Structure 1
Amino acid sequence: MRQSILLSLLLTMSAIVVGCPEPEQSTPVDVFKPNSFGNYSTNFQPQILSETRLNFGDMDAGESSSIPLEIRNVGKEVLIISGYESTAEFEVRGLDEELSVPVGESVMIRVNYRALDEEPRNGELVIFSNDPENPRWKVEIFANQRFPCLAIEPQAVDFGTVDPFLNETSSRDLKISNCSSNATTTFMLEDLVGEGFEAPLSRDETSLEPGEFVEISLTFVPTRSGAYEGQLIVSSNDYFEERKVVELRGYGKDRECPVAIITGSNPQGQTVTANPINVIDALPLDNIELSAGDSYDPEGQSVTYEWSLVGRPQDSAARLEPNLGSENVRLWLDLAGEYMVDLRVVSEFGVPSCQTARLRVRATADQDIHIQLVWDTPNDPNQQDSSGADMDVHLVHPNGQWDQTPYDCFWRNLNPDWATPREVRPDGTQTGWDDDPSLDIDDVSGWGPENINLDNPQNVRYSVGVHYFAHHGYGSSYSTIRVYIGGVLVHEAPRKLMGDQDFWHVADIDWAARQVIPVDTLQRGFPE
């Protein structure tokens, strides 16, 4: 049936050359191997692909030319090319026999043309195959036609390496020309894809007559180190390629990172270096001196400093002073617990340190008993200033009474003599001071803290309490007590709501048993 149709076409179209007829559908290649029982479905099929337009350009009478055409199989089954048709003026070489093209491979054929005159010519090549989607693949063929043509040089632009930290830029010229010998060509710089590149984009078309060209300046403006890639999209009336893509490449010069180093010192004489991480031990209420002076830039540039306090104990109000941009700062350890200080440095070129230095500060009480009081007054808008509620912590010996000397350690009795009588020997040495309590700080406004410490306690039962001494117009407050034994937190009584003149018996400490016994009673005024 197919042969009879072709024969009919030969009788009616003297300008058509006929190739081999199409055979029956080929047997599929065995490329599917099931690995278990069940129902499977596949869409394996061949797929033909090639250029769809061939242009011989301008040719003089008697001139001959040949254009190669690659036919590819981009499908998932063997492509069978069974024949072709072509317009008589255009000769096809390479398709005279049936061809099998394996998956992912291609064959090369040629299309030849000899111009009998200089008149425009156009024709068509039809390729027959077992591609079910395109059984008749068509390729248009042209010679001596008036087609717009746009050429871009170069098709890929490499701007090289540019230093973004010195605000350097790099420019390259792009030549855009009309490659047609007989047609006006128009183009437009349509879009620019990718960061770091600049081009004179416009929605207005530029017209070029045959042989004319323009040069467009492109600029690479990196803002960071590393590789940049982009694309300039150019649209035109080019008959064969309406949209052209120019690949853009550039590299932002790498800079060496400055190095952040923290040097920390405590009052006990310990000095450590965090490069990038280290830890230092200290006592509550210590001042830790921190320096960034050993930080440096490998390229010799000066650096600026960026300190940050990224961790501190719950209820702590600690901060770095005098400011976060100083070379040297100080950290007051207001509460027992762990603090974390970070340092980042930045070079003159704006390059930050690749690693942030971090110093962990562990504030651990070195006394046998350490009692810590903090409070929060919601009506006080600034609990860090000199105005605020006043609360007091108390530690009472079993021989004493609340708010009475000598056996209540509080703001009126800062360092009472409870155990071994204190004595100054004739040689000037002292005894009896190492087994008595001391109130280390009395905060009369704000949030605290107040700390009582006791070393070498007697084997008796001590009592811990809190008195709301004066609200100073700020109303009720929430108080929190923490008790540390041997530097370890063993009891926490959080956020007890108290009014002016309230007294809170928090807990007792049975030193013989090394235990804290919660009491948690609240009353107006001190117990009798």
Structure 2
Amino acid sequence: MAGVLVVFSLFIAGCEAEEGPFTLEKDAALEIQPDGPIVFFEGSMSVGETQCRNILVRNTGDGDLLQLNAIYLEYDAPSEPAPAFFLNDVPAPGTLVSALGQGAGTGIGEEAEIRLCYRRHDDGHMRIANLVIESNDPNKPKAMFPIEEQEGQALLVTVPAEVVFSYVEVGKFKDMIATVLNTGSEPVEVDALALIGDEGFTVFIQDEGVEYTVLAGQDMALDNPISIGSNESLVLRVRFKPTSTFPRAAAAALDWRSGSATGTLSMPIRGNEGPCIHLEPAVVDFGFKKVGGTYGYDVQITACGQDPLEIRRIRLGDSGSPNFVLDENSFQIQGGTGYESAEWPSSTYPAVIPPQRSARYIVLYTPTELSPMDEEGTPVPEVTTGYVETNTFEGEVSFTVNGYGSTEACSTAVITVEQGLNEVAPQTVLDVSGSNSIPASGTISNYVWNVERPEGAEGYFFLDDPVHGTVVMGDTAVYPDVKYALNTAGVYRFRLDVEDSAGNVSCLPAYREITVIPDEAIHVELTWETPGDTDPFDGFGSDMDLHFVHIQGANAADNPYDYFPPPSGDGLADGYFDPTWDAHYWWNSGITVIPDWGTLAVEGDTPTLDRDDTDGTGPENLNLNLPEDGINYRIGVHYRYDNEFGPSTPTVRVYIYGVLTETIVGCPMTSCSLWDVGIIAWPNDMVDSFGCDNSNPLTPCGTSPECSHVVIQDYAPSVAYGPAFKAVACDTAED
């Protein structure tokens, strides 16, 4: 049937308008959506698959009604078992379409719908056809709209087009998300990933439960390509962990192929490039202020990058409370000898802050009436939003201002974090200050600090005194400036209450949340509780040790211990206390040379024990930045010595890329016992963990049947390991 004209139609002929409430006008105008050629891409479909489109018919004329008389296809069809183009549903002959905006109340719709379908054949022909609509449109009574079959095209783009980290401190990290979109008409497969540039960048890609980690300088071919269908996307997580403050750059490259083409998508990545801004605080909280007074609050702007920071404008939003204003005579820039007055910044005359210097200005609050109460009797604050326009990549940053009108004079507690960050890595010593707190009268004379810690975390406030050294204060502190060691992952919520010299307390406390997020691929954390130790911070307590075993390495070594699972093992070495393949406290003791796991001279594929607690509750932290695919890692806890405090109950938390994936609670353990906690099969999360449920917190594992399968008593290494292991594992066990 090649070359035969095939017509599919539904039409009426010689149809005249009936008399009635409507009069057909000759100036009705027919249009369809989408306009332009109707294109079907064969590359986005399998052979025999059908794809349909909804075509909308509208009346864009100034007359009342458009009448559709006939709708059909003109299709010069090649020889084919079934038509490639066909109409699946069309409006009934004589359908009326009201002009846009004039159909309300008439019962006549403002659009009609045609369902046009395409069936893919595999014969090499590129087909064309016309959708024909006959109507009472006087300008085009027989309108023809082309239909095309085309080969598919793949088109990958990234959003954003480039990833820019304005500024990240050395030793810290930040993640940003980028999305790869397939805006083309056919699916693609990504078969190789590469990252070219500075080693401070890492790209993580997850597909169907598998996460790929691409390091700088790495070109990774994928055995199982990643598929991105038409109008589908792939998420990239880009991490920047700089080793210096200087600008850094890289590019992520994805090699792809489709049915019709191949290509490489490149996405630029930049870090610590250009100016950077940090506002302290991000929330200007005046607290309760006596009605009728005017109160000031200092805001600090820091140029945290390597380039000068331009402040082009500072303003308050129009929709907030008018009782907040900016003191335009207060702007100062930090110079060589302190802060110096400067002109209020404007777009015409921007203020320039040198790198690593600060500026400050004052926000004023004049409450004119008491704050209202909500339905629960809680005061409702006055609120506004402030904006700082800059030359940074972000352009404009915002801050929140709030306050309450009160009958009483209240001091305002203000928490300032010297590090200027809300997210930090474990082992960060945080410097928190209340020195910027605002008295209602006189000066601030009393400070009271408290902190809410993550579950299982221990910690204390302390300060470094030039005369007495480190002064430990425990869970509370009464100094204006204190330190706090953030050793456990999770959210810490600091609270500050103040009182001024006239006895005016802060009617509301100040709060500041700091989130501790592990910045390695695997982070394992051990904490423990010892009921017999009433003061875990006195420098004398129980000692538990975290162990992390490279199982394949231990099995290949001369390792005689095979106790797990009890009672006779499984034929494979446990690996605990292996001098090469068990990362534990001896690695940090100087007894042995730190070995090199994974690929020789590649940094990051050997774990580090970043904290070894020998006299308290933990935590002990272990990190592994570049785990090896296909390797199993065993986690264990050894109770090295109880110092006569009795049983201790351990808890192990496992974080994968900063996300808590497992919390395993052990039974109370006695001195020299070892708990086989679980196994991480990389690149999956923890796949097997061994805990126990013991209702009596003082019953040691040695007498608890629930623990017998995961804990072995008197587990100590043999001197057969060599001179480095002549010391026994715990002080109470025989070798």
Please tell me the TM-score bracket, short chain as reference. Answer: 0.3 to 0.5
Determine which structure has greater relative contact order: mean sequence separation of CA pairs < 8 Å that are 6+ residues apart, divided by chain length: 1
Larger Rg: 1
